[in-house]
């Protein structure tokens, strides 16, 4: 099979809650998402999506994703989309780094591989574990009482895991953690995600002040070493996210006992091929994972569901249904949350069909 062409679509995804706010006053109202269509000489077409969390979360931005795709895609014409390791090696040969640029292309090629094999992507990623996968709800940064109300409301919709956006003023964050934990039941999980927002002295104040609370601490500070320092001075379970962006980072973190859980985002690693490699390594190392992406619509949610559903259940700390955070559906067939859980499609490939009325005309194509 050969790749015969690419089309790129751009779509704005407004947030249901109006905006999404996290550490240090960062906020997004509308997400800028990019959908890639890969055409082949076998009449099979695949779709992928990439959607950075604005330009100030990771070193990634929406226009950069598109600029990179315009650079790489022409060089993949004639290549076999079903030979994913070889395709990824080619992408790395024609562009060094910039993993998020390659993510949607890789995702679209997994969609093609699944359609060619007549199997859902989760089967090809390792197999379907259990009936469904558990989701967390991200709780946008607001005053403590409002966050507690939001947690209670999402809990009533079925969620049992909540990721609080902290990383603001430490006194406020301590209040946020206590107020939200007080509306939860013992089996529920609460994660305080600072998204790199605290300096070390602020992180130490927070972890000391909530030492008696059943809460996980996620990515308190900017660098790996800063996080490691906090990790070594707290007994609270610890998640690393932003600094875990490569196989090397996972191996270093495992050897330093720097975390109990890692967050693997598909585009942070460069697509499903590399996220699978990272996922499989974590399983071998005994490290549980949050499996997700930076943000996204229906296509990314479908890709996340296949990665999460093909992960041994005990290793899946949590996952995300981004399509329920935004007001616009860009594809049918994507997972729909039921009681705080979702399952991967049983259809071949990712199991989605893009809605071209919503996507509009392509903004770029090749050849």
* Residues with catalytic roles: 165, 265
Q: Does residue number 111 form part of the binding site for Mg ion (CB under 5 A)?
A: no
Q: Which of residues 192-231 bind Mg ion (CB under 5 A)?
A: 193
Q: Does residue number 292 form part of the binding site for Mg ion (CB under 5 A)?
A: no
CB of 268 vs Mg ion, minimal distance in Å:
10
CB of 292 vs Mg ion, minimal distance in Å:
9
Nearer to Mg ion, 40 or 226 (CB): 226
Nearer to Mg ion, 241 or 245 (CB): 241
Q: Does residue number 241 form part of the binding site for Mg ion (CB under 5 A)?
A: yes
Is residue 112 a contact partner of residue 1, using CB atoms and an 8 Å limit? yes
Nearer to Mg ion, 49 or 241 (CB): 241
CB of 282 vs Mg ion, minimal distance in Å:
16
Q: Does residue number 298 form part of the binding site for Mg ion (CB under 5 A)?
A: no
Contact region for Mg ion (CB under 5 A) — 28-36, 224-232, 237-245, 328-336?
Answer: 237-245
Strands in 316-319's sheet, in edge-to-edge order, are 136-139, 161-165, 189-193, 216-218, 238-240, 261-265, 288-292, 316-319
Nearer to Mg ion, 39 or 292 (CB): 292
**Integer Cα distance of 161 and 63 in angstroms:** 33
Cα-flanking dihedrals φ and ψ of residue 9, to 5°? -120, 145
CB of 43 vs Mg ion, minimal distance in Å:
40
Query: What torsion, rounded to 10 degrees, do the Cα atoms 185, 161, 133, 29 define?
Result: 150
x/- letters, 158..197, toward Mg ion (CB under 5 A): -----------------------------------x----
Q: Any residues with CB less than 8 A from the CB of 337 and at least 6 apart, and which?
A: 135, 158, 321, 324
**Integer Cα distance of 143 and 173 in angstroms:** 9
Nearer to Mg ion, 220 or 349 (CB): 220
CB of 37 vs Mg ion, minimal distance in Å:
30
Nearest C-alpha neighbor of 109 from the set 181, 197, 189, 48: 48
3-state secondary structure of 229: helix
Task: Please count the residues of this chain forming the interface with Mg ion, following the rule CB under 5 A.
Answer: 2
Is residue 170 a contact partner of residue 206, using CB atoms and an 8 Å limit? yes
Q: Residues in the site for Mg ion, rule: CB under 5 A?
A: 193, 241
């Amino acid at each position: 099979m050969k790749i015969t062409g690419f089309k790129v679509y751009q779509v704005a995804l407004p947030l249901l809650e109006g905006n999404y706010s996290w550490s240090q006053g960062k906020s997004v109202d509308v997400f800028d998402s990019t959908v890639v269509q890969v055409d082949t000489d076998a009449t099979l077409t695949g779709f992928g999506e990439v959607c950075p969390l604005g330009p100030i979360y990771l070193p990634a931005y929406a226009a950069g994703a598109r600029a990179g795709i315009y650079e790489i895609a022409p060089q993949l014409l004639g290549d076999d989309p079903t030979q994913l390791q070889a395709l990824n090696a080619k992408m790395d040969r024609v562009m060094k780094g910039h993993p998020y640029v390659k993510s949607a292309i890789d995702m679209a090629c997994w969609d093609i591989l699944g359609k060619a094999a007549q199997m859902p992507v989760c089967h090809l990623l390792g197999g379907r574990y259990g009936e469904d996968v558990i989701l967390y709800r991200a709780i946008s940064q607001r005053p403590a009482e409002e966050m507690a109300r939001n947690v209670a409301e999402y809990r009533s919709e079925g969620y049992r895991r909540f990721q609080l956006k902290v990383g603001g003023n430490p006194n406020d964050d301590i209040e946020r953690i206590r107020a939200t934990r007080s509306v939860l039941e013992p089996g529920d999980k609460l994660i305080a995600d600072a998204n790199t927002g605290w300096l070390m002295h602020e992180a130490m104040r927070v972890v000391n002040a909530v030492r008696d609370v059943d809460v996980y601490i996620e990515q308190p500070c900017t660098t790996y070493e800063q996080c490691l320092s906090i990790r070594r001075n707290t007994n609270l379970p610890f998640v690393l996210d932003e600094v875990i962006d490569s196989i090397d980072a996972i191996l270093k973190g495992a050897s330093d006992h720097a975390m109990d859980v890692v967050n693997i985002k598909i585009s942070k690693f460069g697509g499903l091929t590399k996220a699978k490699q990272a996922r499989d390594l974590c399983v071998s190392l005994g490290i549980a994972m949050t499996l997700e992406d930076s943000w996204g619509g229906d296509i990314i949610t479908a890709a996340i569901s296949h990665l999460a559903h093909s992960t041994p259940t005990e290793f899946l700390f949590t996952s995300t249904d981004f399509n329920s955070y935004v007001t616009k559906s860009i594809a049918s067939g994507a997972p729909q949350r039921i009681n705080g859980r979702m399952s991967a499609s049983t259809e071949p490939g990712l199991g989605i069909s893009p809605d071209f009325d919503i996507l509009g005309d392509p903004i770029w194509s090749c050849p």
